[in-house]
Structure 1
Amino acid sequence: MQKSIFLLITLALLLVLSCSENIYQESKKAYKKQVKTLGKSLRNIQPDSINNQAFNVIESQNFSLRKPNFIIIHHTDQESCEQTYRTFALQRTQVSSHYVICDDGTITQMLNDLLRGWHAGNSTWGNVTDVNSVSIGIELDNDGEEPFSYAQINNLTWLLKNLTEKYKIPKQNIIGHADIAPGRKVDPSALFPWKTLAKSGYGIWYDETKLDSVVIDSAFNPKKALKFIGYNISNLENVIYSFKLHFNPSDVSKTLSEKDKKILILLEDEILKLK
């Protein structure tokens, strides 16, 4: 009896593994096909026309591929890396990200950096309204309620170093999904170590030593400051929540405190230094 049960369990596990392999093989095949089709579409210029008059075509030899200028950090809100791999491999989900970093630090690349991933959704940052087209998405295996492991953050830092050097991405352009989609997304969670990351040179943080000495002028406009940083201020309460999730995670709410206003002033200073 026990032998029969063991056999059934073994067969079930083999079936699950086989299905997973099939999913990844199908995804790999579709990936190569789509990249090939994309490559073919770039070989020739298909001229448009105005008033039934086609554009002239003279090919220039001076070009390169467009490069990403933002990095968006997410947490997966799933149970495991394996579940995330499956989610990104299945066509019906219509979501993807360039990298997935597991709790043990394992890094898996799922898209070429120069391909447009489907990780940001309906998002805005500054004047950028199609974040997917200009960004690399990095997913961290985390359910949103647990701390991010040392191995995960350590390898994230290594990956950010590699990507920012390769594509000359400014440190202020390393942001979270919640920053670009206030009210719609809350990842990475308040447990994500933005301050630690900024100390390593990735993302921005404010000078905490100046916090007590900041004087809030009567003319200070927090809404204008949030917009200056990059937030879409169409829904102020949601923006405040996302801002605090990133820069004041110990006091996340939809209301600005005096400390929050001081942080905004200091962040404006940091950004001005970078311009």
Structure 2
Amino acid sequence: MSLINLVRNRQSLLIVFVLLVSSCSSNRYAATEKVYKEKAKGFSKIILATPPEGQLYDSINAANQQWIGSVNFGIRKPNFVIIHHTAQDSLNQTIKTFHSTKAGTSAHYVISRDGKVVHMVNDYLRANHAGVSKWGKDTDLNSSSIGIELDNNGIGDVWQDAQINSLIKLLATLKKTYNIPTANFIGHADIAPGRKNDPKNFPWKKLADKGFGFWYDEVLKNPPADFDTEKALKYIGYNTANLPAAIEAFKIHFIQSDITKTLTPVDILVLYNVYLKY
């Protein structure tokens, strides 16, 4: 075999190898994509059913109910964004978890440490990220929010600029697309006091400076003598059924250097300043 033919054969083998690797990489999640499409198709059948199945208010006297479809309706849209840390060691580990039916958890987006954004659930669909939670009078945040998981183990992991920059770009898109109020960009700990503590040591001020959530001013006003801290926490949105847990959640978000379950004089100044923004 001539040297030229040998080189050509090796080049051909290399091309085939590259194509095979590329094919395997692109089809890595083919099985889970199929499951996603099948589930979405099942939901579409539920939406298209007329009359809707299982929505009789009087099963005994069904003839007393009639279906007449209106022409004025649309898709439900998210009104909150909930930010989490993954408490795992890599983007791939989190993707694997969100493909586990046993784990049963998911999020709309996952952002890696290097800023890569992975979209995993359609924004209009309900992801399983909030769990048992409450904010204000909303007791089902899964149904009203978009969940964003940030690749961070929650144990001393430093927040990377690339990750936060990607998050800010994503939040800008979501806020504009769904007209999400500034106040409605919150953390997992905020909506699940005592149960969750993420994201920890998070740069909330940097987000607030861009219009995603609130932060306190540099100069803090003194609250009135009759300032009720529990009512203020509740007014902001915290579930105060377990007041120490609500205080801890507030401090995870706004204080960070001290997350004990009691309010110091400085904490009260911060709480009053944040309360005035709602």
TM-score bracket, shorter-length normalisation: 0.7 to 0.9
CA distance in 2, matches of 1:255, 1:79: 32
CA drift of 1:38 comes to 0.4
SS in 2 for 1:139: strand
Corresponding residue number in structure 1 for 2:94: 84
- What CA deviation, in whole Å up to 9, does each residue of 1:103-142 have, x standing for no partner? 0000000000000000000000000000000000000000
CA contact (8 A) 1:223 1:236 kept: yes
Give the greater-gyration-radius structure (CA).
Answer: 2
Corresponding residue number in structure 2 for 1:254: 261
Corresponding residue number in structure 2 for 1:245: 252
Question: Under a length normalisation based on structure 1, what TM-score does the superposition of the two structures give?
Answer: 0.87
Q: In the TM superposition, what are the counterparts of 1:96-107 in structure 2 within 5 Å?
A: 96-107=106-117
- What CA deviation, in whole Å up to 9, does each residue of 1:163-216 have, x standing for no partner? 010000001000000000011100000x2100111001111111122x1xx223
CA RMSD across the alignment: 1.6
1:175 corresponds to 2:186: yes
Question: Which sections of structure 1, spanning at least 5 residues, go unmatched?
Answer: 1-17
**Which residue identity does 1:239 align to in structure 2?**
A
CA distance in 2, matches of 1:135, 1:160: 13
SS in 1 for 2:274: helix
CA contact (8 A) 1:99 1:108 kept: yes
Question: Which sections of structure 2, spanning at least 5 residues, go unmatched?
Answer: 1-23
Corresponding residue number in structure 1 for 2:125: 115
CA distance in 2, matches of 1:91, 1:25: 16
Corresponding residue number in structure 1 for 2:43: 38
CA drift of 1:26 comes to 2.6
Corresponding residue number in structure 1 for 2:14: none
Corresponding residue number in structure 1 for 2:61: 53
**Which residue identity does 1:161 align to in structure 2?**
A
Aligned match for 1:268, one of 272, 275, 278: 275
CA distance in 1, matches of 2:210, 2:71: 39
CA drift of 1:21 comes to 6.3
Q: Please, which moves more after superposition, 119-128 or 48-57?
A: 48-57
Q: In the TM superposition, what are the counterparts of 1:155-194 in structure 2 within 5 Å?
A: 155-189=166-200, 191-194=201-204
Corresponding residue number in structure 2 for 1:11: none
CA drift of 1:28 comes to 1.2
CA distance in 2, matches of 1:140, 1:21: 25
Q: In the TM superposition, what are the counterparts of 1:1-16 in structure 2 within 5 Å?
A: none
Aligned match for 2:104, one of 74, 94, 100: 94
Aligned match for 1:218, one of 188, 213, 225: 225
CA drift of 1:51 comes to 5.7
After superposition, the Cα gap between the structure-2 partners of 1:31 and 1:129, relative to the gap in structure 1 and judged at 3 Å, is same
Corresponding residue number in structure 2 for 1:67: 77
After superposition, the Cα gap between the structure-2 partners of 1:120 and 1:215, relative to the gap in structure 1 and judged at 3 Å, is same
CA distance in 1, matches of 2:109, 2:127: 10
Corresponding residue number in structure 2 for 1:150: 161
Ranges of 4+ aligned residues in structure 1 off by more than 6 Å: none
CA distance in 2, matches of 1:65, 1:154: 29
SS in 1 for 2:276: helix
CA drift of 1:162 comes to 0.1
CA contact (8 A) 1:206 1:266 kept: yes
**Which residue identity does 1:32 align to in structure 2?**
K
1:125 corresponds to 2:135: yes
CA distance in 2, matches of 1:21, 1:182: 40
CA distance in 1, matches of 2:222, 2:180: 33
Amino-acid identity (%): 48
SS in 2 for 1:263: helix
SS in 1 for 2:223: coil
